[in-house]
Amino acid sequence: METVLVYAGRASEEWCQRLATAAPEFRWLSDADHPQAAAATVFVGWNPPPGWLARLPRLRLVHALGAGVDGFLARTDLPPEVPVLRLLDAGMAEQMTEYALLGVLMWQRRLPLYRQQQMQARWKPWPPRPRGEVRVSVLGLGRIGGQVATALAGLGYRVAGWSRSARTLDGVATRHGTQGLDALLAETDVLVSVLPSTAETRGLLDRARLARLPQGAMVVSAGRGDQLVTRDLLALLDEGHLAAALLDVFETEPLPPESPLWRHPAVILTPHVAALTVPEPAVRQVVTHLRRWLRGETLPAMVDRRRGY
């Protein structure tokens, strides 16, 4: 019987019970101090304390309880030969679509502008923007980003998407590579980033690229916080080149109280809640992956460490 150690902070026991009910053929533990914990060959969870994984000398597999795995790949207590699995969706694509739509609607209905007018006690209506004229660009066209792009296109928005390699999506104008990104940015009203954190995406949205967005564009950041250069974003907001930003992810989380993002009038913050893991589909996916892994099957959820996802 394989022993699986589960860590999800204060929710560890809850996740452990859910997983044990779904797959009783495994031995599930939620306590690293349990006498049998050192025998664990599988870890399931997210963000264990530093050094925690070094307590598992027989570790053969890590399964993240999320789609992002940059935190695991950067750990010094996780041997590079140990494979890492991730959730492919588990209810997150629908939430991410809603979050992206929230940002798009804010720009379409001029909420940032009306918020400024409210602070000035200024009553001035502006003409509507038809959906078909709102240009939305989605950065990252993987399993989640692809669904975000196609869903927005299905609602009637002019949607384009960018990925590292070429992709094809119904109703979405797709581009790839550096030249493709530069061209896409120049034709974007609302930029939605759902990219993973990789060596290629860190610092991707700096001043040079953000300045390619048209005057009055909006940025929605819901992928990973290390892609967006905060000082460059703030400068372009202060200069009036960008209209607003809706930010869910940050390079340091929780966001430090001294960050100027908290108090900027053109920035709306949420605490990394754009797409939370939904327990029921996540449990089903984890159990399916572990069973297939034991059978030696190929898994699309297996992380390519060179690519970072």
Q: Which residues are catalytic?
A: 224, 272
Side-chain half-sphere of 63: how many Cα atoms within 13 Å? Answer: 26
Of 198, 208, 87, nearest to 144 by C-alpha is 87
3-state DSSP helix/strand/coil % of the chain, to nearest 5: 35, 20, 45
Cβ atoms of residues 245 and 253 within 8 Å: no
Of 120, 7, 114, nearest to 53 by C-alpha is 7
Cα dist. 143→15, 104, 149, 162 in Å? 24, 20, 10, 13
Rounded to the nearest angstrom, the gap between the alpha carbon of residue 248 and the centroid of all alpha carbons in its chain is 9
Cβ atoms of residues 85 and 62 within 8 Å: yes
